[in-house]
Structure 1
Amino acid sequence: DRATAARAPQRPTGEVYRDLRAGAESGWDFSSRWLDDGRELASIRTTAIVPVDLNALLYHLERTIAKACASSALKACEQGYGARAEKRRQAIEDHLWHPAGYYADYDWQRRRPIERINAASLFPLFTGLASAERAGRTADSVAAQLLRPGGLATTTRASGQQWDEPNGWAPLQWVAVQGLRAYGRDALAEDIGRRFLAQVQQVYDREGKLVEKYDISGNQGGGGGGEYPLQDGFGWSNGVTLQLLRLYGPGAGR
């Protein structure tokens, strides 16, 4: 962190530390998604960005709490969290929609949507808040810009960070598949799922293991980049692969 802050002498050190912590807390540690220039970690400004995935998940949480309150006959609680969810849904539609046709992060300091699409665009479909029209446009944008030989790309930038091109991550494949299926885009969902399964199988056949992330550009290997070596395992790769096999593997649907 000190070395990163030293490469941004024009910024207060504490500001750089804060944005690095926020980037790590986001789970996308690190990604061009948070970088002002899309390349250099010292340009990170995570706390200036309103993330579409976080807000979609908070919407889902508020809806879930409202339903739990309803099941316990807690009317005020149900209405309160229901109102919060609806207010957040409307804010997402007002501010986290890019006119090019996809859900996008928002730069609240500059008061404009982030121009680059990324896999988080599908979270409003995954949590069921998207309108049918916007879900369809988002699906089309994702198919045009994020589909790769091995599944769904995380972003469209190859920055050297691990949550970027050419890496594909299992949980993002699952969000995409489930979100697209929920809005009737079954063919695209299956295409993404089958591509990712083929990628996982190729690495497994060669190395006898599943890994944390995959290079989905067509190189048929595990992913790279970031601050540590590629990890074996991996919980989310194992779980998502199992679920995708149930959907699209041999004997699926029987």
Structure 2
Amino acid sequence: MADRADEWRGLDALVETWWDQNLATATPEDVANDERGTLIELPRPYSTAGGGEGAFPEMYGWDTYFISLGMLEHGRADLVRDHLVNQLSMIDRFGMVLNGNRSYYLTRSQPPLTADSLVRYLDATGDLEFARESLRLLEKEYDEYWCAAHHSTDVGLATNRDLGDPGLRAELAAEAETGLDFTPIFNGDVRRCAPLLTNSCLVRVAEALSELHSRCGDAERSAYWAAESERRAAIIRSLCWSPRDSFFRELDVERGAQLDVDSLSAFWTMWAGVATETQAAGMVQRLAEFRGAHGLAFTPRPHPSPHAEFSHCQWDWPVGWPPMQIIVVSALLRYGFDELARAISADFVGLQIDEFHRTGALWEKYNVIDGGTDLPLERYPSVPMRGWSAASIAVLGAVAYGRPATTSDDIESELFGA
């Protein structure tokens, strides 16, 4: 029996073959033939959120970021460039990266991660001209969408709001823009809040813009965006840090009070470099509360749903989401907690390997307490899904086991029948 590292290498090699298989297009012909009549045209091929499994067959905003991380692990910067071209095209046409390329998503975005993705693409390729051409649109989205009146609060942080989804209550549509649809952490109405996830992303957008301008030789614009990044980070540290709890907490702006449901969203502050070294050390001590035998649950305990439509929320305990494992591990690595990052990565990838052996699929989300995919039901059960689940195999496995120079085709064939 191969050891766990060999099992990962086999599955990772299989995942690498999926990227081209997962590609979809939204050409004018695709739009004309779309049975639902809602597809939005995009200039380049893209990997859908569900990949070859058929779930979520659109290009989703933040799913694409994590998929691109997996692609970069496998040296597929060509596909990442296509993703960036598509998302920049959305900003050019609609002022934002859409929740997804469907007409019913025209009223909102998702967490802003395109700028970070561009930096990572630039690191991999040195394609400075493409980066230079992208700056105007990234700045446009930050200034004209994320800092627009409907996202602004009196404290200088952003909230989340939808601009008129006809199919969801306003509270739910706004919560969908955070990517966390749906969750108890905002006490039922994110529009009252300044979410840690959203604002940490915006800190990183400004930091990335500073890096990009610096590489393009514009010191003045680089300094401007560095100052904007620190401005927002300082407000988060001032208003959202709880010294008593050693944790960043969601802020109810209207009440001027921190909310009492903790979640892995707090670790986006470490991912973005908002947390001080002392704060990060305190947060890492709290991480044990979220840790199950198979990875990190989104919250440390179950909570009642604040939404009348649902008896449970999927962004809650005992659910382990692949993107959150990636973010927390990235946060730990940024602050030097490498051993813990490796251990958490191995726990979650081990669960994915076991479930792949059992079912022949990767899954959208997992039960990290009991193992498997049996979870409290919100709108639908966990579904087979490649997307960010495949990306987590590539990214977290490399952290846990180290990426080999080459992967053995023999291991892949023996373990997974490829």
- Relative to the length of structure 2, the TM-score reads 0.52
What's the CA shift for 1:244? 1.7
Residue matched to 2:147:
none
Residue matched to 2:88:
none
Alignment pair present for 1:118 and 2:263: yes
Residue matched to 2:381:
229
Where 1:173 maps in the other structure, the secondary structure is helix
> For the pair shown, which has the larger CA radius of gyration, 1 or 2?
2
What's the CA shift for 1:218? 1.5
Distance 1:186 1:112, change over 3 A: same
Alignment pair present for 1:30 and 2:174: no
AA in 2 matched with 1:141: R
Matches of 2:285 and 2:404, distance apart in 1: 26
Q: 2:199 aligns with which of 46, 50, 55?
A: 55
Aligned residues: 230
Residue matched to 2:342:
190
Residue-by-residue CA offset, 1:183-235 (whole Å, 9 max, x unaligned): 12122212211111121122112111101000111243354522123221221
Matches of 2:338 and 2:328, distance apart in 1: 11
Residue matched to 1:172:
324
Residue-by-residue CA offset, 1:121-177 (whole Å, 9 max, x unaligned): 11111122221111110111122x211111011013254211111110001001111
Residue matched to 1:104:
249
Taking only aligned residues, the RMSD between alpha carbons, in angstroms, comes to 2.0
Residue matched to 1:131:
276
Q: 1:216 aligns with which of 342, 355, 368?
A: 368
Matches of 1:243 and 1:74, distance apart in 2: 32
AA in 1 matched with 2:256: R
User: More strand by proportion, 1 or 2?
Assistant: 1
Instruction: Kindly indicate whether the alpha-carbon contact (under 8 Å) linking 1:59 and 1:89 is maintained by their aligned counterparts in 2.
Output: yes
- Relative to the length of structure 1, the TM-score reads 0.84
Q: Which moved more, 1:112-121 or 1:75-84?
A: 75-84
Residue matched to 1:89:
233
What's the CA shift for 1:77? 2.2
Matches of 2:212 and 2:403, distance apart in 1: 33
Matches of 1:230 and 1:219, distance apart in 2: 13
Instruction: Kindly indicate whether the alpha-carbon contact (under 8 Å) linking 2:295 and 2:348 is maintained by their aligned counterparts in 1.
Output: yes
What's the CA shift for 1:252? 5.3
Where 1:34 maps in the other structure, the secondary structure is coil
Distance 1:182 1:63, change over 3 A: same
AA in 2 matched with 1:239: A
AA in 1 matched with 2:182: F
Q: What are the within-5 Å matches in structure 2 for residues 195-206 of structure 1?
A: 195-206=347-358
Instruction: Kindly indicate whether the alpha-carbon contact (under 8 Å) linking 1:212 and 1:234 is maintained by their aligned counterparts in 2.
Output: yes
> Could you list the runs of 5+ residues in structure 1 that have no partner in the other structure?
1-13, 36-43
Distance 1:150 1:158, change over 3 A: farther
Instruction: Kindly indicate whether the alpha-carbon contact (under 8 Å) linking 2:184 and 2:261 is maintained by their aligned counterparts in 1.
Output: no
Instruction: Kindly indicate whether the alpha-carbon contact (under 8 Å) linking 1:126 and 1:175 is maintained by their aligned counterparts in 2.
Output: yes
Percent of aligned positions with the same letter in both sequences? 24
AA in 1 matched with 2:200: A
Distance 1:216 1:158, change over 3 A: farther
Residue matched to 2:392:
240
What's the CA shift for 1:60? 0.8
Matches of 1:141 and 1:113, distance apart in 2: 17
What's the CA shift for 1:34? 2.4
What's the CA shift for 1:88? 0.5
Matches of 1:158 and 1:253, distance apart in 2: 42
AA in 2 matched with 1:71: R
